[in-house]
């Protein structure tokens, strides 16, 4: 026989499911060419210009948007065979960045019929760990959760208030990582908190470069980043490691619903 509490619970009406956070109005436009991705985030609006769907998915899930290795899906979601879009979305009430990301996840599910799941995949990575000496960084007094980047030149930066996870996001985005065999940088330093330091890639560009870089004349960003991190006192080791990946189960290339404005 049911107890009084169990009977009350059984008879209580189910709480209605909370609707997924969504923009009040949104437009998705298909582009034939791209001039490079741009994100314009404001309290009541979000504009993603000249972006791939892979870029949008990663941004919506708070991942480095240029790190293509973090998503697995159709070849057209990222370069070199990418389809490009511009998304403009607005909300009546101011929203925090994490709320905007959640709204974008809803929009991608509605307009592109996107479904995905997370899966751990083994791949070759650059593991950044503590070296034999103390890192050449100082504790930061800044409270900016994203950190600040102050460029010195195209390949040198003063990094203000950077945590190690944000540093990994920065270097992975800078490396672009456009191919399946790229090696992302993963944090295994064990350091918490935020730091101020100089990230200087320029000094290594003029040094002896790998053979393929000498032959082609291209800039091997992965090589420069590894050397710059080592100059800060870290150890960079190439090894196999599990990397959590967003695997796309289904997605439509042509967005649904009327466009706005």
pLDDT in tens, 201-230: 998 886 655 554 544 445 688 899 999 999
pLDDT value of residue 20: 84
Mean pLDDT of 25-32: 93
Mean pLDDT of 105-118: 96
Q: Which two tokens stand for residue 151?
A: 């460029």
Q: Which two tokens stand for residue 257?
A: 């619903």
Q: Is the pLDDT of residue 82 over 90?
A: yes
pLDDT value of residue 259: 60
Model-level pTM greater than 0.75? Answer: no
CB 103 within 8 A of CB 21: yes
Kindly state the percentage of the chain with pLDDT values over 70.
Answer: 83
pLDDT value of residue 135: 92
As a whole number of angstroms, the distance between CA 210 and CA 223 comes to 8
How is the chain split into domains, by residue range? 25-120+245-250, 121-244
As a whole number of angstroms, the distance between CA 141 and CA 160 comes to 9
User: What phi, psi does 104 have (nearest 5°)?
Assistant: -65, -35
pLDDT in tens, 137-160: 999 998 777 789 999 998 999 999
Among candidates 63, 115, 106, 68, which has minimal Cα distance to 87? 106
DSSP code string of 136-167 = S-EE-----TT-EEEEEETTEEEEEEE-HHHH
Query: Using 50, 70 and 90 to split pLDDT, how confident is the model at 258?
Result: low
Omega into 47 within 30° of 0, i.e. cis? Answer: no
pLDDT value of residue 178: 46
Q: Which two tokens stand for residue 139?
A: 């504790």
Tell me the average pLDDT of the chain: 85
Q: Is the C-alpha dihedral spanning 98, 102, 120, 54 positive or negative?
A: negative
CB 140 within 8 A of CB 162: yes
CB count in 10 Å sphere of residue 39: 14
CB 20 within 8 A of CB 107: no
């Amino acid at each position: 026989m049911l107890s009084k509490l169990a009977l009350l619970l059984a008879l209580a009406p189910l709480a209605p499911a909370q609707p997924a956070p969504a923009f009040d109005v949104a437009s998705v436009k298909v582009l034939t060419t791209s001039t490079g991705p741009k994100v314009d985030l404001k309290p009541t609006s979000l504009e993603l210009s000249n972006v791939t769907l892979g870029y949008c998915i990663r941004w919506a899930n708070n991942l480095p948007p240029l790190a293509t290795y973090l998503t697995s899906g159709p070849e057209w979601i990222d370069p070199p065979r990418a389809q490009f879009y511009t998304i403009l979305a607005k909300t009546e009430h101011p929203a925090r960045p994490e709320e905007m990301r959640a709204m974008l996840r809803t929009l991608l599910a509605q307009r592109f019929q996107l479904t995905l799941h997370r899966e751990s995949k083994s791949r070759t990575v650059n593991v950044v760990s503590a070296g034999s000496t103390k890192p050449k960084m100082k504790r930061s007094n800044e409270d900016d959760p994203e950190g600040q980047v102050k460029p010195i030149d195209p390949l040198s930066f003063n990094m203000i208030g950077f945590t190690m996870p944000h540093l990994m996001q920065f270097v992975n985005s800078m490396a672009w990582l456009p191919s399946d065999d790229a090696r992302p940088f993963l944090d295994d330093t064990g350091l918490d908190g935020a730091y101020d330091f100089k990230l200087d890639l320029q000094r290594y560009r003029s040094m002896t470069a790998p053979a393929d870089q000498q032959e082609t004349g291209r800039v091997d960003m992965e090589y420069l980043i590894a050397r710059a991190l080592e100059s800060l006192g870290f150890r960079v080791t190439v090894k196999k490691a599990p990397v959590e990946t967003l695997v796309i189960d289904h997605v439509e290339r042509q967005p649904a619903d009327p466009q706005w404005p």
